[in-house]
Amino acid sequence: MSQEPEQKSSNIELELDDDTDIVPRRRFLSLAGAGLLTIGFGSLAEGFVGGLTEPLNQQVESLIFQPQKPVPEFPLSAIEPDKLIVNSFRGTPAINPAAYRLTIDGDVNNPLSLSSEDLQKLPFTSMVIRHVCVEGWAAIVQWGGVRLRDLLAIAKLLPQSKYVYFYSADGYYESWDLDSVLHPQTLMAYQKNGQDLSPENGAPLRLASPVKLGYKLSKWVTRIQITSKLGAKRGYWEDLGYEWYAGL
């Protein structure tokens, strides 16, 4: 789920029997143990309670998160090519690959404007990870591209940098905490399952990471903005009631 107009579920089944849980055990136990499990959005009352408890949810999740520790990956043989659901926010935008540019600006010393060719000249990283949707489905996918931390190293973050906004060609927007952005497995991906990324999956460039739920993984990214604080708008689905941190 990224620019995916999923319906908000009032109930999501959590499988906690083994180490391949769709909703990871550590996330469930950390939130449930604190009495803060706010995944359901079936009523206004739930949304209200979620709004009150989310800052504490975020604190719990960020304390658990280990910014430099890689998430275990899968072998290529584990890829599930038919399980990644292709949805869209406002349909697939028409992007001219030859004219495409990725802008990185905001609280940086060296703003960037990169073409697809520029991105593909940078060190390539491949990973096979599980993409997890808040609705309860998941898919093991190979993603390939540029580590976001490498791009931001070139852009040279200013000391006050704390958050990162992602803007997409279809009008979708997202924001992340900087620690998650700098995780070694957070990629700006242009490859899926060993092939060039298709327009439906977010070409020419999309976010891919094992540390966030699917709606945080923006497709068709055209701009990355570094900021010292969050604005009134934090993300398309978050502004409708979904959790902001959304860590796994």
Which helix H or strand E contains 60, and what residues bound it? helix 44-64
Name 44's Cβ contacts closer than 8 Å, sequence gap at least 6: none
CB–CB of 2/171 below 8 Å?
no
Q: What's the confidence (pLDDT) of residue 7?
A: 33
pLDDT digits (tens, 9 = 90+) for 127-140: 999 999 998 899 99
CB 174 within 8 A of CB 235: yes
Kindly report the CATH number that applies to the domain delimited by 25-240: 3.90.420.10
pLDDT digits (tens, 9 = 90+) for 179-214: 999 999 999 999 999 999 999 999 999 999 999 999
Which tokens in the block code for residue 139? 């898919």
Q: Which of 3-7, 35-39, 60-64, 194-198 has the lowest mean pLDDT?
A: 35-39
Given a cut of 50, whether residue 105 has pLDDT beyond it is yes
Q: How far apart are CA 84 and CA 216, in angstroms?
A: 15
Assigned token pair, 48: 């209200």
Average pLDDT, the chain: 81
Q: Which of 159, 161, 145 is nearest to 225 (CA)?
A: 161
> Distance (Å, rounded) from C-alpha 59 to C-alpha 135?
23
Is residue 58's pLDDT more than 90?
no
Write the burial class of residue 98 (CB in 10 Å: 0-12 exposed, 13-18 middle, 19+ buried).
exposed
Q: What is the pLDDT of residue 248?
A: 82
Task: Show Cβ contacts of residue 66 under 8 Å, excluding neighbours closer than 6 positions.
Answer: none
- The region of weakest confidence among 42-46, 143-147, 233-237 is 42-46
Domain boundaries, the chain: 25-240
Higher confidence at residue 235 or residue 21? 235
Condensed to tens digits (0 to 9), the pLDDT of residues 107-161 reads: 999 999 999 999 999 999 999 999 999 988 999 999 999 999 999 999 999 999 9
Higher pLDDT, 39 or 221: 221
The 3 state secondary structure assigned to 91-103 is CCCCCCCCCCCEE
pLDDT of residue 225: 98
Give me the pLDDT at residue 63, please.
Answer: 59
Mean pLDDT in residue range 156-176: 97
